[in-house]
């Protein structure tokens, strides 16, 4: 009896240690989700890839949330054992918080820049019709693999809002709605592509989400508030947070909704499912 008990105990603790080791090595941002790399060939030189994420055990999703991360918008994902284990941009708000968006109805697609982009997904390309066609080819592939998808939403953050502005402009029928978070705005010396941009031409269902204390000079709250009012687009204002660090435009300041990730993603989730916000203030 003693020997059998000892052997059983050894097996139990070996299994427990393996479980603990697995939990320790699983990136926090990938907890509770399953992911695949999806890739399409664009031409003889270029491919377009993305990371398709679902909440574990869910299937037959109705909504696809297409996520465009911020600077440099190139993240070259590496998938192992069904999760994103490495990328050049894992700190970005949309990447680190994507798990809070997923449920039994919503799957997400993190979109990389095309394979020949170099280290930065250039703004001229993000504003181009070619960018729209490249992303659209990837979405078509995802829907081919997941025919239950009924609606596609586009969500950009920071530099990625250049894409969330121009991509639906080039294809107004593809997206059921668009959400811009920590949105870039034109200044005297930056982003002339956005100067006088007509957001109303993109989608009838469109929203801005912005932190009231966003410290980045390129994404000042006052400017996006004016743009939202001018274009008659709802603005959802985020307050609070914690653990801020890094420079003003870093993903771990109010600019990246540090400490408010869950609440912001839950509201995005709500908007996708209902087509309208549950609140105009996230605290």
Asked if residues 135 and 96 have their Cβ atoms less than 8 Å apart, the reply is no
CA distance 196 to 214: 22
CATH match of 32-282 with 3.40.640.10: no
Asked if residues 104 and 191 have their Cβ atoms less than 8 Å apart, the reply is no
Per-residue confidence of the chain (283 residues) as pLDDT tens digits? 444 444 444 444 434 333 333 444 667 788 899 999 999 999 999 999 999 999 999 999 999 999 999 999 999 999 999 999 988 887 899 999 999 999 999 999 999 999 999 999 999 999 999 999 999 999 999 999 999 999 999 999 999 999 999 999 999 999 999 999 999 998 888 888 899 899 988 888 999 999 999 999 999 999 999 999 999 999 999 999 999 999 999 999 999 999 999 999 999 999 999 999 999 999 9
Cα-flanking dihedrals φ and ψ of residue 68, to 5°? -110, 105
Strands 63-68 and 151-157: parallel
Region of residue 76 (phi > 0: left; psi between -120 and 50: alpha; otherwise: beta)? left
pLDDT score of 199: 93
CA distance 126 to 167: 8
203, 207, 213, 214 alpha-carbon torsion, rounded to 10°: -40
**CA angle, 220 as apex, 208 and 218 as ends, to 5°?**
105
pLDDT score of 88: 84
pLDDT score of 28: 78
Can you give the length of the chain in residues? 283
- In this structure, the number of other CB atoms found within 10 A of the CB of residue 124 comes to 11
At 209 the three-state DSSP class reads strand
At 102 the three-state DSSP class reads coil
pLDDT score of 190: 86
C-alpha distance from residue 235 to each of 59, 206, 228, 238 (Å): 32, 9, 6, 10
Facing residues of 208 across strands? Answer: 180, 235
């Amino acid at each position: 009896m003693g020997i059998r008990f000892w052997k059983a105990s050894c097996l139990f603790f070996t299994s427990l240690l393996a479980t603990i080791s697995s939990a320790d090595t699983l990136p926090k941002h990938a907890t509770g989700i399953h992911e695949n790399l999806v890739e399409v060939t664009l031409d003889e030189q270029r491919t377009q890839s993305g990371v398709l994420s679902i909440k574990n055990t869910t299937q037959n999703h109705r909504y696809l949330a297409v996520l465009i991360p911020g600077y440099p918008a190139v993240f070259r994902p590496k998938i192992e054992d069904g999760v994103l284990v490495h990328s050049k941009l894992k700190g970005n708000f949309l990447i680190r918080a994507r798990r809070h968006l997923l449920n039994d109805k919503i799957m997400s697609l993190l979109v990389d820049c095309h394979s020949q982009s170099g280290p930065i997904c250039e703004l001229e390309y993000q504003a181009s019709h070619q960018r729209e066609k490249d992303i659209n080819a990837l979405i078509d592939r995802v829907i081919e693999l997941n025919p239950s998808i009924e609606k596609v939403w586009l969500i950009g953050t920071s530099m990625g809002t250049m894409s969330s502005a121009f991509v639906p402009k080039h294809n107004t029928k593809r997206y059921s709605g668009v959400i811009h978070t920590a949105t870039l705005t034109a200044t005297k010396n930056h982003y002339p592509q956005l100067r006088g941009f007509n957001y109303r031409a993109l989608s009838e269902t469109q929203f801005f989400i912005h932190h009231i204390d966003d410290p980045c000079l390129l994404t000042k709250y006052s400017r996006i508030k004016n743009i939202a009012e001018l274009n008659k687009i709802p603005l959802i204002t985020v307050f609070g947070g914690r653990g801020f660090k890094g420079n003003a435009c870093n993903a771990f300041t109010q600019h990246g909704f540090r400490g408010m990730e869950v609440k912001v993603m839950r509201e995005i989730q709500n908007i996708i499912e209902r087509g309208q916000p549950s609140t105009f203030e996230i605290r």
